[in-house]
Amino acid sequence: MYKQLLPTKLYSSKKTHASCLGDVKCRLCGYAQESVPHILAGCTALAQNKYLFIHNMALKVLFYEILRDQDVLEEVAPWYSQVMPKAVYKSEKVEAWWDVPVYANH
């Protein structure tokens, strides 16, 4: 991926000329050109699940550490654990929410 040699449709069409049809639209979302930057950061089909999963896995480490610092949790699961946080954690001083929708009055 570093050298952009991932066999995307754009790569097949422009670099190797293996596909002469000219259809370089993304196979997942069907909107943009299927390129390495699009797959890594711009595909809306991936953003709906994979990007969110990776984001949540990274932030749960920070979330657990904050809960431990606030004495809400005694023990933190390892960073590689598939365990996800509960929706709400409460103590006498702290209330922490994980992935709970909040609606404004206005």
Residue 56 in domain: yes
Q: Among residues of the chain, what percentage have pLDDT more than 70? A: 80
- Segment 33-54, tens digit of pLDDT: 888 788 777 888 877 777 778 8
pLDDT at position 59 is 93
pLDDT at position 90 is 94
Same domain, 39 and 57: no
Structural domain for 74, as ranges: 50-97
Question: Are 8 and 39 a contacting pair, CB within 8 Å?
Answer: yes
CB atoms within 10 A of CB 89: 18
Question: Are 72 and 92 a contacting pair, CB within 8 Å?
Answer: no
pLDDT at position 62 is 94
CA 11-54-91 angle, to 5 degrees, is 170
Residue 2 in domain: no
What mean pLDDT, rounded, does the chain reach? Answer: 82
Number of structural domains (the chain) is 2
